[in-house]
Amino acid sequence: MGRLFGTDGVRGVANADLTAELALGLSVAAAHVLAEAGTFEGHRPTAVVGRDPRASGEFLEAAVVAGLASAGVDVLRVGVLPTPAVAHLTGVLGADLGVMLSASHNAMPDNGIKFFARGGHKLADDLEDKIEGVYEEHRTGAPWERPTGAGVGRVRDYDEGFETYVSHLISVLPNRLDGLKIVLDEAHGAAARVSPEAFTRAGAQVVTIGAEPDGLNINDGCGSTHLGLLRAAVVEHGADLGIAHDGDADRCLAVDAAGNEVDGDQILAVLSLAMREAGTLRGDTVVATVMSNLGFKLAMEREGLNLVQTAVGDRYVLESMKENGFALGGEQSGHVIVLDHATTGDGTLTGLMLAARIAATGKSLADLAGVMERLPQILVNVKDVDKSRVDTSGELAAAVTEAERELGSTGRVLLRPSGTEPLVRVMVEAADIEQARAVAQRLADVVKSALG
pLDDT in tens, 31-61: 999 999 998 988 999 999 999 999 999 999 9
Lowest mean pLDDT among 75-79, 233-237, 277-281, 416-420: 416-420
Q: At what angle do helices 56-70 and 20-36 cross, to 10 degrees?
A: 40
pLDDT value at residue 197: 98
Can you tell me the mean pLDDT for 114-143? 91
Catalytic site residue from 27, 56, 102, 104 = 104
Flag whether the pTM goes above 0.75.
Answer: yes
Q: List, in order, residues 6 or more apart from 123 with CB less than 8 Å away.
A: 115, 116, 117, 131
pLDDT at 85 > cutoff 80: yes
> If you average pLDDT over every residue of the chain, what do you get?
94
Considering the chain, tell me which residue range(s) the CATH 3.30.310.50 domain(s) occupy.
377-451
pLDDT value at residue 289: 94
For residue 271, give Cα distances in angstroms to 93, 164, 255, 297, 357.
Answer: 29, 25, 16, 15, 8
Residue 54, amino acid:
R
Residue set of the binding site for Mg(2+)? 104, 246, 248, 250
pLDDT value at residue 2: 56
Task: Look at strands 423-429 and 377-383 and give their pairing.
Answer: antiparallel
pLDDT at 1 > cutoff 50: no
Report how far residue 295's alpha carbon sits from residue 368's, in angstroms, rounded to the nearest whole number.
15
Handedness of CA 364, 191, 48, 39 (dihedral sign): negative
pLDDT value at residue 449: 87
Domain covering 5-161: architecture: 3-Layer(aba) Sandwich (3.40)
pLDDT > 90 in the chain, percent: 81
pLDDT at 305 > cutoff 70: yes
Can you tell me the mean pLDDT for 182-191? 98
pLDDT at 236 > cutoff 60: yes
Lowest mean pLDDT among 160-169, 297-306, 388-397: 388-397
Lowest mean pLDDT among 235-249, 405-419, 423-437: 405-419
Strand order in the sheet with 377-383: 377-383, 423-429, 412-417
- CATH fold of 178-369 reads Alpha-D-Glucose-1,6-Bisphosphate; Chain A, domain 3 (3.40.120)
pLDDT value at residue 8: 78
CATH of domain 377-451: 3.30.310.50
Identify which of 115, 137, 143, 147 has the alpha carbon closest to the alpha carbon of residue 39.
Answer: 115
Within a 13 Å sphere around the CA of 293, how many CA atoms are in the beta-carbon half?
A: 24
pLDDT in tens, 338-380: 999 999 999 999 999 999 999 999 999 999 999 998 888 899 9
SS3 letters for the chain?
CCCCEECCEEEEEECCCECHHHHHHHHHHHHHHHHHCCCCCCCCCEEEEEECCCCHHHHHHHHHHHHHHHCCCEEEEEEECCHHHHHHHHHHCCCCEEEEECCCCCCCCEEEEEEEECCCCECCHHHHHHHHHHHHHHHCCCCCCCCCHHHCCCEEECCCHHHHHHHHHHHCCCCCCCCCEEEEECCCCCCCCHHHHHHHHCCCEEEEECCCCCCCCCCCCCHHHCCHHHHHHHHHHCCCEEEECCCCCCCCEEEECCCCEECHHHHHHHHHHHHHHHCCCHHHEEEEECCCCHHHHHHHHHCCCEEEEECCCHHHHHHHHHHHCCCEEECCCCCEEECCCCCCCCHHHHHHHHHHHHHHHCCCHHHHHCCCCCCCEEEEEEECCCHHHCCCCHHHHHHHHHHHHHHHHHCEEEEEECCCCCEEEEEEECCCHHHHHHHHHHHHHHHHHHHC
Considering the chain, tell me which residue range(s) the CATH 3.40.120.10 domain(s) occupy.
5-161, 178-369
Report how far residue 203's alpha carbon sits from residue 181's, in angstroms, rounded to the nearest whole number.
10
Report how far residue 106's alpha carbon sits from residue 310's, in angstroms, rounded to the nearest whole number.
23
φ and ψ of 156, to 5 deg: -145, 150
Residue set of the binding site? 104, 246, 248, 250
pLDDT at 88 > cutoff 50: yes
The yes-or-no answer on residue 224 being catalytic is no
pLDDT value at residue 206: 98
